[in-house]
Amino acid sequence: MLHYFLFPLADQFQIFNVMKYITFRSGGAMITSMLLAFLFGKPIIDWLRIKQKHGQPIREDGPERHIIEKAGTPTMGGVLILFPAVLSTLLWSNLTNMYVWIILGILVSFGLIGFADDYAKVTKRTHAGVSGRLRLLFEFVVAGIAVFFVVRLTAGSTSLPTNFSSSVALPFFKDVMINLGPFYLLFGAFVIVGASNAVNLTDGLDGLAIVPVMIAAGSLGLIAYLVGRVDYTEYLQIPYVPGTSELAVLVAALLGGGLGFLWWNAPPAMIFMGDTGSLSLGAAIGAIAVSVKHEIVLAIIGGLFVLEAVSVIVQVASFKLTGKRVFRMAPIHHHFEKLGWAEPTIVIRFWIIAVVLALFGLATLKLR
């Protein structure tokens, strides 16, 4: 919005020429989002604490220390990230860019799905919220619509090769694309929904999910900026997708909102992210990866989320097939809690893993 009003004035006031730079607007979006999260954090937390009374229901099969310490903490804290991030994106991004609107649509839609799930948990006083099948149905519908529009955007570009819109790029290889044809819609939707629910599973300890989310989002924001620039894509020999550089502004807004939320979520947490935040942020990361044609790289950058999701799958499969559990508790961060690890130890070590995986994922841009 600011870009629309201020950049045309650059001829009269040279200072407004900075509005054409994505890097400047990204910085503005990040600072704005962070300040909004700081400003509205305490009032929102107080309001949610009054409305929810007993806070988020805690799993009774979890570690006893976890149940005692977390009881009564309000949830739906994702609004502390989404509200500042969406508003900052609208203020600082180029609103003629369709990629921005697609990711915003994903953020808001999955945020509403998560909000409905959180609301059901709080009102019913149970750890189980909206039916899992119903939630997945809505998620796949929204994700499918988003992928459809991404495919239309890339298919309509004359600067891209044939079948690019329905192809998947392989990391570590130059110009190697696998054309999935019409199945790409299902694949893209699976990436978005999978990322969304993997982040949701990771959100179990104070600060555990938000920092890896910011690390993954920041990495994908950098990739989006590079992929949208002809000069960088020619140098790195990666697929060029015009228009994706603008997503760096949206990602910066998410990072600012995430930092503001972390201020209130740092141990001991005053508020939980809830499904409102985890589902929407995970879906946004997945949608950005689909937009920039780095779906497989997402599995590397977001490897921590993959590990959490796989631990749940392995646990459920093992118990159903053999009646035995592989982990003391799943997702895997609870396994380490059961082993006696302190919560800060688990969280910080998982952050380190997230950083290492993100660096490895970014290295795929050059190792080709």
Model confidence pLDDT, tens digit, residues 203-247: 988 889 999 999 999 999 999 999 999 999 888 888 889 999 999
- Under DSSP, the state recorded for 139 is H
Residue 181 lies in a domain: yes
Closest CA to 246 of 226, 231, 232, 230: 226
The DSSP result for 285-346, as a single string, is HHHHHHHTT-HHHHHHHTHHHHHHHHHHHHHHHHHHHHS--SSSSSSHHHHHHHTT--HHHH
Q: Which helix (H) or strand (E) holds 179?
A: strand 177-179
Whether the pLDDT of residue 52 is over 90: the answer is: no
Lowest mean pLDDT among 8-22, 156-170, 217-231, 282-296: 8-22
Q: Which residue range is the domain that position 318 belongs to?
A: 2-363
The tokens 């080709």 sit on which residue?
368
Lowest mean pLDDT among 6-10, 152-156, 158-162: 6-10
Q: Pick the most confident of 183-197, 263-277, 324-338.
A: 183-197
Residue 321 lies in a domain: yes
Rounded Cα gap, residues 142 and 287, in angstroms: 11
What would the mean pLDDT of 302-330 be, rounded to a whole number?
92
What would the mean pLDDT of 260-269 be, rounded to a whole number?
87
Residue 202 lies in a domain: yes
Whether the pLDDT of residue 65 is over 70: the answer is: no
Whether the pLDDT of residue 196 is over 80: the answer is: yes
Rounded Cα gap, residues 108 and 276, in angstroms: 9
Query: Residue 328 CB: number of other CB atoms within 10 A?
Result: 14
8 A C-beta contact, residue 271 and residue 264: yes
The tokens 């015009």 sit on which residue?
242
8 A C-beta contact, residue 293 and residue 239: yes
Rounded Cα gap, residues 93 and 104, in angstroms: 11
Residue 34 lies in a domain: yes
Q: Say which amino acid occupies 153.
A: L
> Residue 7 burial (CB < 10 Å; 0-12/13-18/19+)?
middle
Which pLDDT band holds residue 282 (cuts at 50, 70, 90)? very high
Per-residue pLDDT reduced to its tens digit, 322-342 = 888 999 898 999 899 889 899
Query: Residue 321 CB: number of other CB atoms within 10 A?
Result: 8
Residue 368 lies in a domain: no
8 A C-beta contact, residue 36 and residue 264: no
Which pLDDT band holds residue 354 (cuts at 50, 70, 90)? very high
Residue 99 lies in a domain: yes
Give the pLDDT confidence score for residue 21 in this predicted structure.
83
Give the pLDDT confidence score for residue 280 in this predicted structure.
96
Q: Rounded to 5 degrees, what angle do the CA atoms 156, 157, 161 make?
A: 110
Rounded Cα gap, residues 150 and 154, in angstroms: 6
Closest CA to 346 of 356, 355, 333, 358: 333
Whether the pLDDT of residue 15 is over 70: the answer is: no
Which pLDDT band holds residue 30 (cuts at 50, 70, 90)? very high
Average pLDDT, the chain: 87
Residue 335 lies in a domain: yes
Residue 103 lies in a domain: yes
Structural domains in the chain (count): 1
What would the mean pLDDT of 271-275 be, rounded to a whole number?
89
Which pLDDT band holds residue 163 (cuts at 50, 70, 90)? confident
Rounded Cα gap, residues 209 and 180, in angstroms: 32
Per-residue pLDDT reduced to its tens digit, 136-159 = 999 999 999 999 999 998 876 666
Whether the pLDDT of residue 68 is over 80: the answer is: no
What would the mean pLDDT of 299-308 be, rounded to a whole number?
96
